[in-house]
Structure 1
Amino acid sequence: MESGAYGAAFAGGAFDVLGFVKRPQTILRFLSWVFSIVVFATITAEGYVNPTTGDVSHCMYNKDNSACSYGVGIGILAFLACVVFIALDAYFPQISNAKDRRYIVTGDLVFSGAWTFLWFICFCVLANRWSHTTDTSLVQIDAAQAVIAFSFFSIITWGLLTYFAYSGYHQGVSDLDSGYTDPAQDQSTPYPPSYPPYPSSGPQGYQQSPFTQSEERPPGEYQPPAY
């Protein structure tokens, strides 16, 4: 995170697509986005099995439907959050107000920390239920293990996102404590002149009309023209 009250001193610059893609936060958000898709899509597609003796589907993790529902819910919310935060990261350099930047950084810190903890719970629950699953004849073992593995990977990515968010928040607090203020707007010339002043002495280079008489005749009697 840039310095200067959450990076506000560097606001207004041109958007660097290549630099944005190479940022560690962007890479981690993309990985978290992919991991969340794997978790909720796999559980939705292959997480429920139909027993041969009944029509009711059960979760592949020891028939605990709440475990599958929890994984789907966490995955979908993480998927949506990654999209939102990627958009905010792209728009972030254009925000000049330090308070608005602080709200975004604080929200990122709180959400990333919360989802790190929730992914940890998801990993523990799914791993525990899978360890107690005895009947795996109708279960896609690879799918069940993939969900557990990507839940663990999500703990790492969201934990790193929490670290970066905390670093940015701490740096911003230090800059604000140092007396940072947003740059004031220049109010000296609010309205520029619309038109240039009209010259009082007329346009330069003015020449006398060629059709004016060189000399005037004095008034007198009428003189008929000679034929």
Structure 2
Amino acid sequence: MDIFQKVMSGFSLDLGPVKEPLGFIRILEWIFTICAFATTGGYVGSTVVNINCGAKPDEIPAHFGYPFRLPSHPYDINHCNGTKNVTYLQGDFSSSAEFFVSVGVLGFLYCTFTLILYLGYQQVYRESNRGPTIDLIVTGIFAFLWLVCSSAWGKGLTDVKYATDPDRLIKNCLPDICEMKSYPSMGRLNASVLFGFLNLILWAGNCWFIYKETPFHKPTNPPPNAEEGVSTS
């Protein structure tokens, strides 16, 4: 309780940083980070193929979703001759998808922490050079991580589209007559990659505004004013 009281006693809400690029860009990072991992995590898609054996076509739904371990999503093919076989989607793209979501969740947590620091403990943030310096280093690391994870997930998404391509699934129906009924919706996943690269731009650009708060940009000792600079005779 004593620690909690000390923390709350030092809290002083100040919305001034939101009007500055440092705080405003951090809010944008917070929003776009949520959009990035929310559009990837929890995704579920499906491709439906019809086998025309008689008057009523037989539907074959092939489901897949996050984290895109496609072999874990089997689907049954009921052939016209009465036989049935279990078929699996091919490819495990979970590493790039989970890496992308992990960076997004960690970025969201860091944005939340720094926004609380900016708005409630601004005096603590600026009273020493340590706060802005650490903030600059961590923000630079996240900018690099967004570059890596967005590129990896972009390649992973391309592979997911290839592995779930309807033309590939139709080949598994042979020698039966198959046709596509519905295609998987990939708009949400395409948006996730876009949000990833938007985060890269935001985090990399924010490094400049944080850099201006560090001693690397500000002089260690402020220059003397005009009055102090005039020597007395």
Q: TM-score range by the shorter chain?
A: 0.5 to 0.7
Corresponding residue for 1:167?
A: 212
Deviation for aligned residue 1:41 = 1.8
Deviation for aligned residue 1:169 = 1.1
Deviation for aligned residue 1:52 = 2.2
Corresponding residue for 1:199?
A: none
Change in CA separation of 1:139 and 1:16 when aligned onto 2, cut-off 3 Å: same
Deviation for aligned residue 1:159 = 0.7
Change in CA separation of 1:34 and 1:93 when aligned onto 2, cut-off 3 Å: closer
Deviation for aligned residue 1:22 = 1.9
Percent of residue pairs identical: 25
Q: Deviations over 1:77-121 (max 9, x none)?
A: 0000000111111234423974xx311101110111000000000
CA distance in 1, matches of 2:217, 2:121: 14
Q: Deviations over 1:175-226 (max 9, x none)?
A: 34869xxxxxxxxxxxxxxxxxxxxxxxxxxxxxxxxxxxxxxxxxxxxxxx
Q: Deviations over 1:57-78 (max 9, x none)?
A: 99xxx63110111011101000
1:102 touches 1:172 (CA, 8 Å); kept in 2?
Answer: no
Equivalent of 1:88 in 117, 120, 130: 117
CA distance in 2, matches of 1:41, 1:55: 30
Report the RMSD for the aligned CA atoms in angstroms.
3.1
TM-score by length of 1: 0.60
Q: Which has the higher strand share?
A: 2
CA distance in 2, matches of 1:122, 1:64: 13
Larger radius of gyration: 1
What amino acid is the match of 2:35?
V
Q: Which runs of 5+ in 2 are unaligned?
A: 1-11, 44-64, 77-85, 167-182, 225-233
CA distance in 2, matches of 1:55, 1:176: 71
Corresponding residue for 2:18?
A: 21
Counterpart check, 1:39 vs 2:36: yes
2:32 touches 2:195 (CA, 8 Å); kept in 1?
Answer: yes
Corresponding residue for 1:30?
A: 27
Deviation for aligned residue 1:143 = 1.3
Change in CA separation of 1:174 and 1:111 when aligned onto 2, cut-off 3 Å: same
CA distance in 2, matches of 1:103, 1:118: 23
Equivalent of 1:145 in 171, 190, 201: 190
Q: Deviations over 1:107-147 (max 9, x none)?
A: 11011100000000011111222233312457431111011
Corresponding residue for 1:104?
A: 131
CA distance in 2, matches of 1:169, 1:56: 54
What amino acid is the match of 2:34?
I
Matches within 5 A, 1:52-201: 52=75, 63-95=92-124, 98=127, 101-132=128-159, 133-134=161-162, 135-136=164-165, 139-170=184-215, 173-176=218-221
Change in CA separation of 1:35 and 1:52 when aligned onto 2, cut-off 3 Å: farther
What amino acid is the match of 1:130?
L
1:117 touches 1:155 (CA, 8 Å); kept in 2?
Answer: yes
